[in-house]
Structure 1
Amino acid sequence: MFEYQVTDIFFDLDHTLWDFEKNSSLTFAKILNENNVGVDLNGFLEVYSPINHQMWALYRENRVTKSELRYQRLRRTFDSLGHRIADETIDLLAHEYIEHLSSFNHLLPNTIEVLEYLRPKYRLHIITNGFQEVQSKKLRSSAINHYFDKIIDSETAGVKKPHPYIFELALEQAKVEPHKSLMVGDNLEADVLGAKAMGMQVIHYNSNLEAVHPECITIHDLIEIKTIL
């Protein structure tokens, strides 16, 4: 299946292991209700989700800051919904969203089974574009932190996937050559093609229904990894 023997597997976190959409929905249900923000949750999420993806794309390209990301994704959502809301309330919601997000711990299907299967055979690591404090809390609250040897986040690295340096840093910390490593992630550009450009082997976990890349192994359920490795 792979050209070289794999010794180390690097996973993305959000949308790959940690069920970002579900946990985010539960977080918004909590903070919108507690702050008496009168919007329909499903309608809010339908508008928010693509805006959030757009803002993260800008953040990966260093076109917005962390604070701009957190404010603008909410401001643009409420503006699109035609819902008047004060900046002070948006700032409060942005703060509470980050505070409570990692308290929810739903994982994507078959995460634990696959990690249990892989852990005795490979060294496992995380490379994530999230913020250090938040991502660490997610790993702890979902009780999967013990599976991973190295956890590399973009905030600590100073660059975001697909920048080569974050992969270089991960490989250096894990003390593994690129061709002996495997990257598993949901984002074709940031995770898969970014790692592939570094000489790493790759699996695209296509949980976002992106276009299939002809030169990448594609799966639609984590359990498929058991038939590959």
Structure 2
Amino acid sequence: MTNITDIFFDLDHTLWDFERNSALAFEKILLKNEVDLNITDFLKIYVPLNESYWKLYREDKITKEDLRFKRISETFEALNYKSSTQLIEKLADDYILHLPDNNHLFEDAISTLDYLAEKYRLHIITNGFEEVQHLKMKNAQIDHYFETVTTSENAGVKKPHPIIFEKALKKANTENVKSVMIGDNLEADIEGAEKIGMKTIYFTPNYLEHSSRTAINTLKKLTTIF
């Protein structure tokens, strides 16, 4: 990682513990809306469905509105839970409203950002919804670490499209050869950044290594790389 001046992070699943925070949000809104379902049963169906719908969203095969509605409606269908369109729309809105209420970060996120911020300029590139990403960062008290934030909605395209990375580099006033992208999604974060010549680090908490790329399973390991 020589000659690096700028480090770009993905937010969800990389710094911000999305699954943990999402589960807490659903626990709150299911209770609030009197949905009589066990949260564990709900999440067992919802989590993989959400991942599959996000893949379709990244590929521009569904709209943001379809993603928000169908990931909940199909979960209810799989659990044989009778609901109305109005209830699903209310849950979809409440989820976005309450998602930033809990802001657990991955272990050593703060100490690692403290270390890196002394030596590099830090940035965010995220496919997450514009209206909640900035709020997540603010509530988690990490917004001050990042000089720029590039979201897919303000870039007009989603990772792994090269344009979002190019716009992020331009916004940061830096170059691909001086930059590294750190993220948990092999397709969106790693392959996307590599296609425009950026170095990458694959954050993969469940695996020890990756055969063809620099990979870490804890954020703390970044302090030994940089």
- Fold-level similarity (TM above 0.5): yes
The answer on 1:64 being equivalent to 2:62 is yes
User: Map of 1:132-147 to 2, 5 A cutoff?
Assistant: 132-147=130-145
Matches of 2:16 and 2:45 in 1, distance apart? Answer: 22
Q: CA deviation at 1:213?
A: 4.6
The answer on 1:179 being equivalent to 2:177 is yes
State the SS of the aligned residue for 1:102.
Answer: helix
Decide which of 93, 96, 111 is 2:94's aligned counterpart: 96
Q: CA RMSD in A?
A: 1.2
Q: CA deviation at 1:215?
A: 2.6
The answer on 1:197 being equivalent to 2:198 is no
Q: Quote the residue 1:155 is aligned against.
A: 153
Q: Quote the residue 1:169 is aligned against.
A: 167
Q: Quote the residue 2:216 is aligned against.
A: 219
Q: CA deviation at 1:210?
A: 7.3
Conserved in 1, the CA contact under 8 Å of 2:208 and 2:216?
A: no
State the SS of the aligned residue for 2:101.
Answer: coil
Conserved in 1, the CA contact under 8 Å of 2:184 and 2:203?
A: yes
Q: CA deviation at 1:27?
A: 0.4
Matches of 1:211 and 1:165 in 2, distance apart? Answer: 31
Decide which of 121, 124, 132 is 1:123's aligned counterpart: 121
Q: Quote the residue 1:18 is aligned against.
A: 16
Matches of 1:205 and 1:159 in 2, distance apart? Answer: 23
Structure 2 vs 1, CA of residues 88 and 211 (structure 1 numbering), >3 Å: closer, same or farther? farther
AA of the residue aligned to 2:151: D
Where structure 2 has 5 or more consecutive residues not aligned to the other structure, the ranges are none
Moved more, 126-135 or 210-219: 210-219
Q: CA deviation at 1:212?
A: 6.0
Where structure 1 has 5 or more consecutive residues not aligned to the other structure, the ranges are none
Conserved in 2, the CA contact under 8 Å of 1:188 and 1:210?
A: no
What per-residue deviation string (whole Å, max 9, x for no partner) do you get for residues 10-69 of structure 1?
Answer: 000000000101110110010000111010000100110000000000000000000000
Structure 2 vs 1, CA of residues 103 and 166 (structure 1 numbering), >3 Å: closer, same or farther? same
Structure 2 vs 1, CA of residues 199 and 137 (structure 1 numbering), >3 Å: closer, same or farther? same
**Structure 1 runs of 4+ off > 2 angstroms?**
209-215
Matches of 1:210 and 1:169 in 2, distance apart? Answer: 31
Conserved in 2, the CA contact under 8 Å of 1:185 and 1:192?
A: yes
The answer on 1:73 being equivalent to 2:74 is no
Conserved in 1, the CA contact under 8 Å of 2:148 and 2:172?
A: yes
